[in-house]
Amino acid sequence: MKRLFDLSASLIGIVLLLPIFVILSLLILLTMGLPIIFKQKRVGKNEVIFEIYKFRTMVTDAPERGPSFTTGGDPRITPLGKKLRRHKIDELPQLFNVLKGEMSLVGPRPEVPEFVSHYNDEQRQVLSVRPGLTDPASIVYHDEETILSHFDNAQEAYLKKIMPAKLKLNLAYLKKASFRADLGLIFKTIGRLFSLR
C-alpha cells in the first residue's frame, strides 16, 4: 500500500508541478548556467547507493571551493539557491527518486556514505526501509543549516550532536510507522514549508 501511494502521489505531483519545474529550470539556467540538476550519492534501503536529485543551488565549482558539507552561511550558495533551499524547493526533483522506487514520500532522510559509515548497529536500522522526502527529523530540524552555522566545526557538530538526535527520532518513527502516521508527517511538512518566510 505504501509503495502504491508513493507511486501515485509522486506521479501526480510531477504532473502538477511540471510548470514549476520548467520555470525553475529556466531561472537556474539563466542565473547559474548548467547543470540544472545536482546529483549526489546517498545510501538507500539495504545500504544500496543511489543518486539523489536536487535543483542546483550552488556555484558550478563548489566542490573545488569547499567541503561537501554546507551550512546556511556558505558563500558558495547562490542568491537564487538560498531561496530554493529556505523553502526546500530544491528537493522537489526527488519526486523522480520516489517514482523510480529509490525513495518514499516518508522515511528517514538519506545520508551520504561518509556519514553512514559512523552509524552504529542500532542506527543502521533506518537503512531497512526506503529513505524519504520527509521524516520526523526534517520537521524538528527544519532550520538545520542555521543551527550548524553557529558552530566553528559544523561537520563535527553534525556528526556528534545533530545526526544522532535525528537518528533517534527516525528510529522511534520506525517503531510506530503507519500509513496514517505518514499522512500526518506529510501535512506537517507542508504546513512547515508554508510557515517559512
Per-residue confidence (pLDDT) for residue 92, from 0 to 100: 96
Selected residue with higher pLDDT from 50 and 60: 50
Q: For the segment 86-107, what is each residue's pLDDT rounded down to a tens digit?
A: 889 999 999 999 999 999 999 9
pTM of full prediction above 0.85:
yes
Q: For the segment 141-192, what is each residue's pLDDT rounded down to a tens digit?
A: 988 888 888 888 988 999 999 999 999 999 999 999 899 999 999 999 988 7
pLDDT band at 73 (very low <50, low <70, confident <90, very high): confident
Domain ranges (residues) in the chain: 2-195
- What 3 state SS string does the chain have? CHHHHHHHHHHHHHHHHHHHHHHHHHHHHHHHCCCCEEEEEEECHHHCEEEEEEECCECCCHHHHCCCCCCCCCCCECHHHHHHHHCCHHHCCHHHHHHHCCCEEECCCCCCHHHHCCCCCCHHHHHHCCCEEECHHHHHCCCHHHHHCCCCCHHHHHHHHHHHHHHHHHHHHHHHCCHHHHHHHHHHHHHHHHHCC
